[in-house]
Structure 1
């Protein structure tokens, strides 16, 4: 009879103990970095600032990559800890920049109906139709142009990003009409940003008609919320 031989753990592979140690070290890195976060930045999920959230995400990613790239198979915990610290610092810097840009942007816009939302990895500027366009028109009003110039100045102050302008409509009317209107409106807003000095290679304009509602199209109030242009600012580094 041939006896089955017990399988031995490959010493080159991470053991449960190593993985547990990696997790502990990563958490320690997160706690240390969280204690150093700037208390003056905006808060996000769970009361954490975007800086803290960036540090947490970066530290976790750094810990995993540090352990995975361990070349000598003997210092996985050390490499994970180093990865957590470096990743956390990078994440915190990126989060802090978005916090500052969002704050500066909100302060520079005069119309209180314009929303600036920090989504964690990008900024979303929401401009309702009522402050931009007349009904059925893609011509930006003179008052709204001033706020778009303020957005452009902010984009030039923080140049490491790409900017997507997205036009939205409600569901009233045909798909073809809504698609054309949303595209022309997005292009109008992007054109003003370009005229104000934002580099063309950073800008794109897209119309999505009524495909991305934020409220019910069954009510007048809901339809008004859906008619909007959004400026999405995504950091490139």
Structure 2
């Protein structure tokens, strides 16, 4: 993974210039409420720092295992943009009408899953009604198997910091476990919780809290 390139794309996103999002019900391009404030996926900058602190040798070995298991057994190479374009199009097709936002940032794809459709309040068990949506994600992840899949949990500011951190980790792990049990290679999955530290809206309003309670799945291409 080229973390330097990824970091630059995140900075561009946070400058509110290139992060396009689409209404999941119509497919129309729009500027989301979260993007108007700080940008959907504002926690991605922290995600990059998290990944950058991984042991480089461990990351290299993990990527080798992923590519060995992937179709073709080689890195994406020079066709990263096309590979992610095709994956993005399939995700939009599968997730239309699901309530999940598909956000493209450079060569990365972020799936923003609001807490009100993924989990019951204060719980880390995935809502049964949302399992079919995750199954649709699984179909795409299996087809496009040369990506790292980072599942990040986020909460609003209600409750203690420790409680929120624990809940965010549990929710991220629940989603990661579901993907793994459904057949996504475990080496591709990384689960992390950010608690209440990465809000994308105002925690002083009910609407803002609802936006902040979310799980984001970020797809990062594995390329040379």
Unmatched 5+ residue regions in structure 2?
A: 1-27, 30-75
Q: Which runs of 4+ in 1 moved over 6 A?
A: none
Q: Are the structure 2 counterparts of residues 159 and 91 from structure 1 closer, same or farther at C-alpha, using a change threshold of 3 Å?
A: closer
Residue 191 of structure 1 pairs with residue 182 of structure 2: no
Q: How does 1:128-147 map to 2 (within 5 A)?
A: 128-147=114-133
Higher relative contact order (CA 8 A, sep 6+): 2
Q: Looking at secondary structure, tell me which structure has more helix per residue.
A: 1
Q: Which residue number in structure 2 is paired with residue 229 of structure 1?
A: 215
Specify the structure having the higher radius of gyration (Cα). 1
Q: Which residue number in structure 2 is paired with residue 208 of structure 1?
A: 194
Q: How does 1:70-219 map to 2 (within 5 A)?
A: 93-109=79-95, 111-219=97-205
| Matched pairs, number | 150
**Cα separation, 2, equivalents of 1:213 and 1:150:** 27
CA deviation vs aligned residue, 1:7-46 (integer Å, no higher than 9, x gap): xxxxxxxxxxxxxxxxxxxxxxxxxxxxxxxxxxx99xxx
CA deviation vs aligned residue, 1:156-207 (integer Å, no higher than 9, x gap): 1001111100000001110110001000000000011001100000001111
Q: Are the structure 2 counterparts of residues 163 and 102 from structure 1 closer, same or farther at C-alpha, using a change threshold of 3 Å?
A: same
User: Is contact 1:164-1:206 (8 Å) kept?
Assistant: yes
Unmatched 5+ residue regions in structure 1?
A: 1-41, 44-89
Q: Normalized against structure 1, the TM-score is what? A: 0.60
Q: Which residue number in structure 1 is paired with residue 47 of structure 2?
A: none
User: Is contact 1:163-1:204 (8 Å) kept?
Assistant: yes
SS at match of 1:143: helix
RMSD: 1.9
